[in-house]
Amino acid sequence: CSALPLSPGPLSLHSPADLSELLKEGTKEAHDRAENTQFVKDFLKGHIKRELFKLGTAALFFTYSALEEEMEQNKEKPCFAPLYFPLELHRKEALARDLEYLYGESWEEKIQCSEATQRYVDRIHHVGQQEPELLAAHAYTRYMGDLSGG
């Protein structure tokens, strides 16, 4: 991990809580835009076609598979170790169970990674291998957005 220069000013990070607050504030505008799209509004109301839900679940499976693989590879690096909580956060296995329910026993043969999802997966792998300190941003976006609704 590269050392991130931290000044003693307001952007210094002293704890994961400080990082969480900075990420929350820094992503507020994008979050507000995202949660107000018609798709998200419909999704939160449960008004989504089953086929679209299946495709979205498959995309999340590929995404979390990549993210959790890179988190595992970087779990002992000082820049990422304080954020590693596999028992509390990992989603891959739960998504696999969801996909088995949605697609049936041989679900692995029935799902495909879309081009857009593949680009995101490739970016996660790049970050994990080249800039692991940036995994925090990906983890925050996925886990906070997907699990906490924001």
Q: pLDDT of 61-106, one tens digit each?
A: 999 999 999 999 988 988 777 777 777 778 899 999 999 999 999 9
Ordered by start, the domain boundaries in the chain are 40-147
Which residue ranges make up the annotated binding site for heme b? Answer: 24, 31, 140
| CATH code of the domain made up of 40-147 | 1.20.910.10
At residue 6, the pLDDT reads 42
3-state secondary structure the chain: CCCCCCCCCCCCCCCHHHHHHHHHHHCHHHHHHHHCCHHHHHHHCCCCCHHHHHHHHHHHHHHHHHHHHHHHHCCCCCCCHHHCCHHHHCCHHHHHHHHHHHHCCCHHHCCCCCHHHHHHHHHHHHHHHHCHHHHHHHHHHHHHHHHHCC
Taking the model in full, what pTM does it have?
Answer: 0.75
Q: CA-based Rg of the chain, rounded to a whole angstrom? A: 17
Report the percentage of the chain scoring pLDDT > 90: 43
Closest CA to 140 of 44, 15, 22, 13: 22
pLDDT band at 46 (very low <50, low <70, confident <90, very high): confident
Return binding residues. Answer: 24, 31, 140
The predicted structure's pLDDT at residue 83:
76
Closest by CA position to 99, among listed 113, 110, 84: 110
